[in-house]
Amino acid sequence: MSPAWLLALIPFLAGLAVTATYAVQLVTEILRRTTGNVIEATVTGHVASREATYATLHPVVSWTAPDGTAHERALPDDAPARALPEGARVRVRFDPAHPELAALDSDARHRQAVTGVCVGITLWAGTLIVVIWRLAYVLNHLREYVSWRY
């Protein structure tokens, strides 16, 4: 086998990294869903952040917790800013012990995390299967060569 097979490490390691990243997001979403409270909130504005090469608008949402504490923060969201105009009522899921982990109550982030985990597993498991298949082929060919020679 040539050293070019070491290039198989690239999709394998990339798959592991993608799986780990989205697995953390998936665990966070599951914890938010199991321990969080759902509260009605109001969009009070938008704040821009530069996530990639373009600016993204995130809704700034304010709500009052059951204990009377007022909160206002920019929440990560995949919906376009025009879908959440100022004054719109939205549902926020948050844990009173960790209000900084609040997020809009939607399935988008959960679906994104599940899809990311599946893509990551496909990358590393597919690469592993191809490498094992190739090793089995080479070892079988070598066994036939050795038995033919003697």
Least confident stretch, 13-27, 34-48, 58-72, 92-106: 92-106
Mean pLDDT of 40-62: 79
Distance CA 87, CA 42 (A): 6
Domain extent listing, the chain: 3-149
Give the model's pLDDT for residue 82: 64
Eight-class DSSP state of 36: P
Is the pTM above the cut of 0.85?
no
Please give the residue that has the higher pLDDT: either 53 or 10: 10
Q: Hey, CA dihedral for 74, 75, 76, 81, is it positive or negative?
A: negative
* 29: confidence class by pLDDT, cuts 50, 70, 90: confident
Going through 70-141 in order, the beta strands assigned E by DSSP cover 70-74, 89-95, 98-104
Please give the residue that has the higher pLDDT: either 39 or 76: 39
Give me 132's structure tokens: 């094992």
Element at 129 (helix H, strand E): helix 108-149
Nearest to 30 by CA among 125, 124, 95, 126: 95
